[in-house]
Amino acid sequence: MTNNIYQFFFIYLYSIITLFLLAVIGDFVSISIFLSKNIFIYKNIFLYCFLYAVCFFAIRIIITTQVSNIFIFIISLTLSYFFLINKEINAYQILIIISVFIAFNLLLQKYFTAKNFSNFLFEVSFLKFLKTNSLIFFSFIIIFPFYLMFVSSLKSQMVLLQNPTDLSIPFFYSISDFFSSYIAVITQYNFLNFALNSTIVSFVTVFVSLFFSIPGAYAVARLRFTGRSKISSSILIIYMVPAIVLVIPLYVIFSQLGFRNSLFSLMIVYPATTIPVALYMLQGYFKGIPYELEESALIDGCSRIGVILRITLPLSVPAILSVSLYVFMIAWNEFLFAFMFFR
Amino acid sequence: MFNLNKEAKLAYTMLIPTISIVFLIILFPIFGNFWLSFKEVKLGDLRAPQPIIKEKLKTKDIEPGDDILIEYRFKNSSQKKPIFNIEITDKISKFISPVEIAEGCSVNNNLLSCYFEEWKPKYNEKIIFKFKANDNFEIDNFNPKESKPRGVADADNILTNLKFSLKNFQKILQKNETIENIKVTFLYSFFATIGALLLGISAALLLEKNFLGKGFFRGLFLFPFVSPVIAVAFTWVYILDPFKGFLNNYLLNNEFISEPIFFLGLKKVDFLGFDFPFTLFIVILFESWRYFPLAFLFILARLQAIPKDLYEASDIDGATRIQQFFYITLPQLLGVISLLFILRFIWNFNKFEDIFLLTGGNAGTRTLTVQVYDEAFALSNMGTASSVAVLIFILLAIFVFIHQKIAPKDIEE
């Protein structure tokens, strides 16, 4: 009996959460992208989910064999019919609900056909459905803002104000309307100039910070000198210094020196903030390169600089690439210094 | 085998540029911050007082032998401070020679140079210099403004003098706002960290096992972290906007609410009898959303390093999945979670952009970093701003100390 209660609870819960998510996401995906229509969550959704769950439970209790997909199909259709009459639900959603129920039924069949629906099986199936739902949930919370950003960029201010919940992609626009915001940004708001500035600053940051951090990282990773452990442990502390503590004095100093309003000021500050990270990442990679290679080169008469240029650097191209990508990302996304220095 | 001294020397030469640039841009400004926090510097004081000189030709239709009047206007740029030892140089045309010039001025080799001892604040005077056109005067080649007049002067620079006071700290600590801000900062850092960690752990558990499309999801989950803060914050502000935002309109259309909610402008909401800081909660949600990918990456890496034998053994012993999570996975992850907690806490403590872009520090979300900005640019007081920054720095030093105590081993991994 307890197992049946579990089952009931389980199916109920799974139906509710799945349907709730599906109502939202199904709408977004199927309707809103293609049809310009307001999205609508039905207030009674929990009631409907409950009805579904009760029906499944009833079938399980009465027939006590595995639920066949035909049953599911019939139940879904009948239930959906009532919802359709009340105009609470539309054909797209019925399709989605039915297909998802069949998919979940197939997935659960394995566990339910076992004669004894044990705690273990319950837990496994429970976690399985939790996993699926969480994946949907995570994808949704990540994609939604970006999708909204994208869709809004294709519409005019008027359309957005008239109907803020419209998430459809305006396929019916002509090409020039479709990209009108992008064209306006480029032609009227000097976007290319700003993009060029960002690009210049980011690339300079990457090159300068690599230029300084590669020898530094090699020294920390390979060479023996007093104070080595102190340097390698203090690298990350510098990464924890808040930017806001630096920005006020740098603002003052740069104002006095008179290059606060130039890209040059950013080209000094960004590398200084990224060098510690780049150095830390690179020295970790350098340590992983077999020292024997370098030793044999040294014995053959290669100088240290030669070793770095001929052996270490070619071997660590992937690390250097990923570090430059990371540094580029930091410089490209940086807001505080640029905001303060160019006010 | 190798000469140790030579090696150390090489190491130092390789490290010196790196260390010096870090010193110059990181450590020197920290020192500068402490320096500024003991000085009453206003935003306007950053421009040192200067002499301003302008010249103007007063005479028209000049012929050889005529008198030429040139008006010089001398001005002290500062309204409050005097300037001393003003030296002015100006190149004058070779076709004219001086007749009557102001006291303290002399002309030598077509070079007018003046010296004044002191100009008082708001000093602003027009002096007319009388010149005479020489016999070889050519009107076509005559240019009275041969060069821009230059002035150099000494002024008391508040930034470099040695007057210190504790007034900034006094001002800051007397404000009720500061204590409130410290509280908000701690709440924000703590709960945003917890939120990011919880989301990160669940995401890592989700994507640990192999399944179709795992690579796609792993890439997707990094999106909030790698996209620029300004774009993401703007999108959130747009979604949460009370009038044209998506969320409010959505809720209104469905009659879940009867009037729009000000998601980013509600300081307190009565929730079961106590004041719930609503906007702070929204900001914490944003922060958790934005930074869970970092926790996700770290924890995923650690998850994949847990030996599979542990799970097999516990399977044989009859442990359920939930038991496995609490008795195997979680203890194994504890090290990386505590490291992440302190790191994220410190970074959240330092965060400025996210809150500034979402709420501008309004509606009970003013953290210490936003206060620094407001003191410096809204109240134009650099001194108090840097004293708040010093406060942040001291609190942070304590956290970093804790971090060093907790996690030196984990970092070396």
In 3-state terms, what secondary structure has residue A113?
coil
- The pLDDT, as a whole number, for residue A88 is 54
Strand order in the sheet with B105-108: B105-108, B111-119, B83-91, B150-155
Distance CA B287, CA A276 (A): 25
Task: Output the pLDDT for position A36.
Answer: 47
Query: CA A326 from chain center: how many Å?
Result: 16
**Structure tokens given for A21:** 């998510």
Contact list, B229 vs chain A (CB under 8 Å): 333, 335
pLDDT at B51 over 80: no
Judge if A17 and A125 occupy the same domain: yes
Chain A, nearest residue to B380 by Cα: A248
CB proximity under 8 Å: A 46-85 to B: none
CATH at residue A282: 1.10.3720.10
Phi, psi for residue A224 in degrees, rounded to 5: -100, 125
Complete DSSP assignment for B150-168: EEEEEE--TTTS----SHH
To the nearest whole angstrom, how far is the Cα of B35 from the nearest Cα of chain A?
9
Q: Do B244 and A149 touch (CB under 8 A)?
A: no
B32 touches chain A (CB under 8 A): yes
Whether A296 is in a domain gets the answer: yes
Token duo for residue A285: 């990679």
Residue by residue, pLDDT tens for chain A (343 residues) are 455 556 556 665 666 666 666 666 655 555 555 554 554 545 555 555 566 666 666 665 555 555 565 666 676 666 666 665 655 555 655 666 666 666 666 665 655 555 555 566 666 767 777 777 788 788 888 888 888 888 888 887 777 787 777 777 777 777 777 788 888 888 888 888 888 988 999 999 999 999 988 888 888 888 877 777 777 777 777 777 888 888 888 888 888 777 778 888 888 888 888 888 888 888 888 888 888 888 888 888 888 888 888 888 888 888 899 999 999 988 888 888 888 888 7
Instruction: Write the CB contacts of A209 (distance below 8 Å, at least 6 apart in sequence).
Output: A270, A271, A274, A275, A278, A327
**Other CB atoms within 10 A of residue B79 CB:** 9
Among candidate residues B332, A186, B353, the one with its CA nearest the CA of residue B324: B332
Are A150 and A104 part of one and the same domain? yes
Q: How many distinct structural domains can be found in chain A?
A: 2
For all residues of chain B together, what is the average pLDDT? 80
pLDDT value of residue A1: 44
Coil, strand or helix at B36: helix
Q: Compute the nearest-CA separation of A272 from chain B (Å).
A: 5
The DSSP 8-state label assigned to residue B26 in this structure reads I
Per-residue confidence (pLDDT) for residue A103, from 0 to 100: 65
Q: Of the segments A133-137, B360-364, B388-392, which one has the largest average pLDDT value?
A: B388-392
Q: Looking at beta carbons, which residues of chain B come within 8 Å of A146? A: 223, 227, 235
Burial class (CB in 10 A: 0-12, 13-18, 19+), A238: middle
Q: How far is B33 from chain A (nearest CA, A)?
A: 6
B19, B206, B350 member nearest A244 (Cβ): B350
- Give the integer Cα–Cα distance in Å for A236 and B22: 12
Cα gap B197→B341, rounded to integer Å? 7
Q: Which has the higher per-residue pLDDT, B70 or B370?
A: B370
Find the range with the poorest average confidence among A196-210, B41-55, B236-250, B300-314.
Answer: B41-55
Q: Please indicate, yes or no, if residue A298 is contained in any of the structural domains.
A: yes
Residues A272 and A215 in one domain: yes
Q: Does B260 touch chain A (CB under 8 A)?
A: no
How near does any CA of chain B get to the CA of A150, in Å? 10
Q: Quick check: is A293 in a domain?
A: yes
Question: Residue A204: what pLDDT?
Answer: 92
Provide the residue type at B412 as one letter: E
Structure tokens of B347? 């970074």
CB B252 within 8 A of CB B243: no
- Please give, one letter per residue, the 3-state secondary structure of B182-245: HHHHHHHHHHHHHHHHHHHHHHHHHCCCCCCCHHHHHHHHCHHHHCCHHHHHHHHHHHHCCCCC
pLDDT of residue A206: 92
- Residue B410 — very low, low, confident or very high, per pLDDT cuts 50/70/90? very low
Looking at the fold, whether A136 and A10 belong to one and the same domain comes out as yes
Q: How far apart are alpha carbons A171 and B251 in whole angstroms?
A: 26
Architecture per CATH, B169-412:
Orthogonal Bundle (1.10)
**pLDDT over 50 (residue B1):** no
Q: Are residues A248 and A335 in the same domain?
A: yes
Q: H/E element holding B284?
A: helix B278-303
Residue ranges of A 159-218 with Cβ closer than 8 A to chain B: 160-161, 164-165, 212-213, 215-216, 218
In angstroms, the Cα distances linking B183 to A145, A329, B132, B362 are 30, 32, 74, 15
The angle that helices B214-221 and B278-303 make with each other, rounded to 10 degrees, is 140
Whole-angstrom CA distances from B154 to B91, B103, B116, B295 are 22, 20, 11, 55
Same domain assignment for residues A69 and A210: no
Answer yes or no: are the C-beta atoms of A232 and A169 closer than 8 Å.
no
Query: With an 8 Å Cβ cutoff, is A146 touching chain B?
Result: yes
- The residue segments making up the domain with residue A24 are 2-162
Put simply, the answer to whether B249 touches A335 (Cβ < 8 Å) is no
Domain co-membership, A236 together with A294? yes
User: Chain B: nearest CA to A164, how far in angstroms?
Assistant: 5
How many whole angstroms separate alpha carbon B173 and alpha carbon B188? 21
Q: Is the domain of A208 the same as that of A291?
A: yes
- CA–CA distance, B338 with A33 (Å, rounded to integer): 42
> What's the average model confidence in pLDDT over B229-253?
85
Residues 117-136 of A with CB under 8 A from B: 119-120, 123-124, 127, 131, 134-135
Three-state SS annotation for chain A = CHHHHHHHHHHHHHHHHHHHHHHHHHHHHHHHCCCCCCCCCCCCHHHHHHHHHHHHHHHHHHHCCCCCHHHHHHHHHHHHHHHHHCCCCCHHHHHHHHHHHHHHHHHHHHHHCCCCCCHHHHHHHHHHHHHHHHHHHHHHHHHHHHHHHHHHHCCCHHHHHHCCCCCCCCCCCCHHHHCHHHHHHHHHCCHHHHHHHHHHHHHHHHHHHHHHHHHHHHHHHHCCCCCHHHHHHHHHHHHCCCHHHHHHHHHHHHHHHCCCCCHHHHHHHHHHHHHHHHHHHHHHHHHHCCHHHHHHHHHCCCCHHHHHHHHHHHHCHHHHHHHHHHHHHHHHHCCHHHHHHCC
Q: Which residue has the tokens 């105009």?
A: A87
Amino acid symbol at A94? I
Q: What is the pLDDT of residues B396-409, one digit of tens each?
A: 888 878 777 765 55
A174 in any annotated domain: no
Q: Any bridge partners for residue B269, and if so which?
A: B276
Query: Distance between CA B395 and CA A240 in Å, rounded?
Result: 12
Q: How far is A298 from chain B (nearest CA, A)?
A: 9
How far A299 CA sits from the closest chain B CA (Å)? 10
B45 or A151: which leads in pLDDT: A151
Q: Does B20 touch chain A (CB under 8 A)?
A: no
Q: Which of A219, A330, A233 has the alpha carbon at shortest distance from A272?
A: A330
The reply to whether B169-412 shares the fold of B51-155 is: no
In this structure, the dihedral spanned by the alpha carbons of residues A146, A240, B205 and A6, taken in order and rounded to 10 degrees, is -90
Q: How confident is the model at residue B196 (pLDDT cuts 50, 70, 90)?
A: very high
Closest-CA distance, B12 to chain A, in angstroms, reads: 8
A288 part of contact set with chain B, CB < 8 Å: no
Q: Is B198 on the interface with A (CB under 8 A)?
A: no
CA B312/CA B332 separation, integer angstroms: 15
Question: Is the pTM for the entire model greater than 0.90?
Answer: no
* The pair of three-digit structure tokens given for residue A343, joined into one six-digit string: 């006010």
CA A90/CA A32 separation, integer angstroms? 13
- Rounded Cα distance, A150 and B141, in Å: 63
Q: Other CB atoms closer than 10 Å to residue B163's CB: what's the count?
A: 9
Cα nearest neighbour of A228 on chain B: B11
Binding-face residues of A in 229-268 toward B, CB within 8 A = 231, 233, 236-238, 240-246, 248-253, 255-256, 268
SS3 B128: strand
Q: Output the CATH code of domain B51-155.
A: 2.60.40.290
In a domain, A33, yes or no: yes
Chain A partners within 8 Å of B326 (Cβ): none
Question: Do A223 and A83 reside in the same domain of the chain?
Answer: no
Is B102 or A293 the better-scoring residue by pLDDT? A293
- ipTM surpasses cut 0.90: no
For the cut 70, the answer to whether the pLDDT of residue B27 exceeds it is yes
Strand partners, B96: B133
Q: For residue A301, count other CB atoms closer than 10 A to its CB.
A: 7
Residue A90: the pLDDT is 58
The verdict on a CB contact (< 8 Å) between A240 and B227 is no
Mark whether A219 and A267 lie in a shared domain. yes
Residue of B nearest to A141 (CA): B289
Residue pairs between chains A and B whose CB atoms are closer than 8 Å: 208
For chain B, give every domain's residue range: 51-155, 169-412
Tell whether A26 is within 8 A of chain B (Cβ): no
**Beta bridge pairs of residue B152:** B87
pLDDT over 60 (residue B36): yes
Residue count (chain B) = 413
Q: Is the pLDDT of residue B203 over 80?
A: yes
Distance from CA of A116 to the nearest CA of B (A): 16
Query: Minimal Cα–Cα distance from B333 to chain A, Å?
Result: 20
Same-domain status, A48 and A95:
yes
Please give the distance of CA A40 from its chain centroid, rounded to a whole number: 26
**Chain B residues within 8 A of A269 when measuring between CB atoms:** 25
Cα torsion A155, A159, A165, A167 to 10°: value is -30
Residue from B12, B23, B230, B246 to probe the interface with A (highest A Cβ count within 10 Å): B246
pLDDT of the residue at B411? 43
Residues A54 and A196 in one domain: no
Q: What per-residue confidence (pLDDT) applies to B252?
A: 79
User: Are B372 and A244 a contacting pair, CB within 8 Å?
Assistant: yes
pLDDT band at B193 (very low <50, low <70, confident <90, very high): very high
- Which pLDDT does position B195 carry in this prediction? 92
Q: Flag whether residue B306 sits within 8 Å of chain A, measured between CB atoms.
A: no
B 221-240 residues inside an 8 A Cβ radius of A:
221, 223-224, 226-232, 235-236, 238-239
| pLDDT above 70: residue B215 | yes
Measuring CA to CA, how many Å separate B337 from each of A331, B108, B296?
A: 28, 77, 10
Q: Hey, are the CB atoms on A225 and B382 less than 8 Å from each other?
A: no
* pLDDT of B106 strictly over 90: no
> Which positions in chain A touch B256 (Cβ < 8 Å)?
43
Average pLDDT, integer, range B283-306: 89
